[in-house]
Amino acid sequence: MDRLTAMEVFADVANRESFSATARQLGLSPSGVSKLISRLETRLGARLFKRNVRQVVLTEEGAKYLEGVRRVLDSIAELEASSASVFELSGHLRIMCSSALAKHLLAPRLAGFADAHPALSIEFVQCSNDLLGTLDPNIDVAFYSAQPKSSALIVRKIDSTEHVTCAEPDYLDRWGVPLQPEDLARHRCLNLSTDAPCTAWPVRCADGQINRLQISAAITADSSDLLLALVKAGAGIGRLALFQTRDDIDAGRLTPVLEAYNPRVAQPIYAVYHSRRYLSHRIRALLDHLQRKPPHASGDAAGPSAHRAPPRQAVGA
């Protein structure tokens, strides 16, 4: 049995308190994880987990072993990171993401990364906003605003963003400002044509609960950047990521609406790749760089000043 693999699996089970959750994360079968832990316990001569139907809990011996395992894994991670810095990154890095994420999230952060690694070439491959089921073996890393359907892929959160419902000011002058979610029924709503979670617009109710409003869209598109262009052209009301709309809101080209009902829930943005254990230095360096260089504020928590302002009232309203 590979001792390092056993330690990694053991630490993951201890963190998740579940064999099945670890199996999904690592692309293994639950029985395979259970057998690996059993063999580890036999080798150590100690019971590491108390098992029941719903979860597994560390024993006293397991808790002590976990402390040592974490020190070993942290030391390995530090060694790999220091080794990676010794060698100049070279070769080719193939990145897949939507045009919106590439333009607004990745591009502003990549100049410094490219300067630091001149021997590394980078290629962008565009994808739609559909939820990810599989990852092409020729793609090194993909970026999505939703978790992949496949549990065999590795997911790492690199950022998050809020969403805002907005429209072009002249559109609101012509059609009026919606003051409550029900008013959207008399407006032209623009929405994604995929099964991404953001196609249902969340609404905060008076009791604090969040309902998801199914939108009857007048125009749909598989690109959020296309929706942004349509909203800015006055074609209707859309709900878009704040990292896309921040500059236009600050400049007055877009006006937020229904802010009293906006739950302001930060939606994670994920990096998705094939393997944690065999992660290349190129991918690791890119992900570390992206998490060190957030654009604006991570999570867009504060939001632009215009985002906090009350919506503009329509003429004659």
> End of a domain among 61, 85, 109?
85
DSSP string, 278-302: T--HHHHHHHHHHHHS-SSSGGG-S
Residues 30 and 43 in one domain: yes
Structural domain range at position 23: 3-85
Using CA atoms, how far residue 25 sits from 33, 218, 243, 250, 251, in Å, is 11, 39, 29, 40, 43
Confidence (pLDDT) at 54: 73
What is the distance of C-alpha 20 from the center of its chain?
A: 23
**Could you give the number of structural domains in the chain?**
3
Residues 280 and 131 in one domain: yes
- Listed as ranges, residues in the chain with pLDDT below 70 are 1, 53, 80-88, 128-133, 149-152, 194-198, 276-278, 293-317
Q: Which residues have C-beta within 8 Å of that of residue 15, sequence separation ≥ 6?
A: none
Confidence (pLDDT) at 81: 64
For the domain that residue 249 is a member of, what is the CATH number?
Answer: 3.40.190.10
This model's pTM is above 0.85:
no
Closest-CA residue to 231 (of 166, 279, 309)? 166
Query: Is 316 a domain residue?
Result: no
Query: Is 314 a domain residue?
Result: no
Which tens digit of pLDDT belongs to each residue from 251-282? 999 999 999 999 988 888 889 888 765 577 88
Give the Cα separation of 143 and 124 in Å (integer): 11
Residues 295 and 213 in one domain: no
Using CA atoms, how far residue 148 sits from 24, 135, 186, 202, 243, in Å, is 12, 9, 35, 21, 21
Confidence (pLDDT) at 24: 86
H or E element in which residue 9 lies? helix 3-16
For the domain that residue 23 is a member of, what is the CATH number?
Answer: 1.10.10.10
> End of a domain among 38, 57, 85?
85
Residues 198 and 125 in one domain: no
- Give the bridge partners for 163, in sequence order: 241
